[in-house]
């Protein structure tokens, strides 16, 4: 399923609080400089239209969310959704997520990483473009803080199984932990727009969670994600 056309953004909206380019992200990495406050940071790989960022930021105002979206028009659309709701604890960066991990994020800097429905690059000759590969899963483990979690969902069973294999072979993350499918309570009660479309078309969604084991003496990260954020 390809991406649908986006609605026009209200030109009155000020996106400056919720939108950054890669060049505008702080160097060295400094969450307080980016969000204007301290607190845990969770990162979403490929924010699309921004449904997850909007609903997660509203549900967990104590957490800072960074969405990384390579397509400028989708990044602006997601940022507009945040600005419209005055959600100051979430920012969308127009960037390639590989650059963010490789050049910006230090070890143990993220409380959670969210990867929902990454592009499967169906043609065999294009599959080398898939974001999830051996170097990338090592970056996921490196940047997760102890006790942090990785959330990975896909509608492509082959890609899902390959990702689980890569995580098992090249990281020490604990999992996969089962993630039950939540029953939506309203029309937009889904983790992302893509999950909504997939499930409304009667297609399977494959879900898994992984965790970076806490060190002895660390306080575990406890947060109720049992229900779908919406």
In this structure, are residues 91 and 67 in contact, taking their beta carbons and an 8 Å threshold? yes
**What does residue 115 show for φ and ψ, rounded to 5 degrees?**
-130, 105
User: For this structure, is 189 an active site residue?
Assistant: no
**What does residue 67 show for φ and ψ, rounded to 5 degrees?**
-100, 135
Picking from 179, 182, 177, the residue whose alpha carbon sits closest to that of residue 228 is 182
d(CA 58, CA 3): 25
DSSP β-bridge partners for residue 170: none
Half-sphere exposure of 61 (CA within 13 A, CB side): 5
Half-sphere exposure of 109 (CA within 13 A, CB side): 18
Sign of the torsion angle spanned by Cα atoms 66, 69, 70, 75:
negative
* Rg of the chain in Å (alpha carbons): 17
170: left (phi over 0), alpha (psi -120 to 50) or beta: alpha
Q: Please pick, among 10, 14, 102, 119, the residue that the annotation labels catalytic.
A: 119
Element (H, E) at 124: none
d(CA 37, CA 89): 9
Catalytic residues: 119
């Amino acid at each position: 399923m390809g991406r649908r056309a986006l609605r026009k953004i209200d030109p009155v909206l000020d996106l400056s609080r919720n939108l950054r380019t890669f060049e505008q992200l702080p160097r060295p990495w400094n969450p307080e400089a980016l969000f204007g406050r301290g607190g845990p940071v969770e990162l979403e790989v490929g924010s699309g239209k921004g449904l997850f960022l909007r609903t997660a930021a509203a549900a967990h105002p104590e957490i800072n969310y960074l969405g990384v979206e390579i397509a400028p028009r989708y990044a602006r659309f997601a940022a507009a959704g945040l600005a419209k709701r005055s959600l100051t604890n979430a920012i969308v960066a127009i960037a390639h997520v590989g650059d963010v991990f490789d050049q910006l994020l230090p070890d143990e800097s993220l409380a959670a990483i969210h990867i929902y429905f990454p592009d499967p690059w169906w043609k065999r000759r294009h599959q080398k473009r898939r974001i999830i590969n051996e170097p990338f899963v090592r970056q996921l483990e490196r940047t997760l803080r102890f006790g942090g979690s990785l959330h990975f969902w896909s509608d492509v069973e082959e890609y899902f199984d390959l990702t689980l294999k890569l995580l098992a072979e090249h990281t020490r993350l604990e999992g996969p932990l089962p993630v039950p499918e939540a029953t939506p309570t309203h029309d937009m009660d889904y983790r992302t727009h893509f999950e909504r479309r997939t499930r409304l078309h009667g297609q399977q969604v494959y879900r898994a969670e992984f965790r970076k084991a806490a060190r002895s003496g660390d306080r575990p990260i406890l947060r109720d994600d049992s229900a779908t954020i919406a």
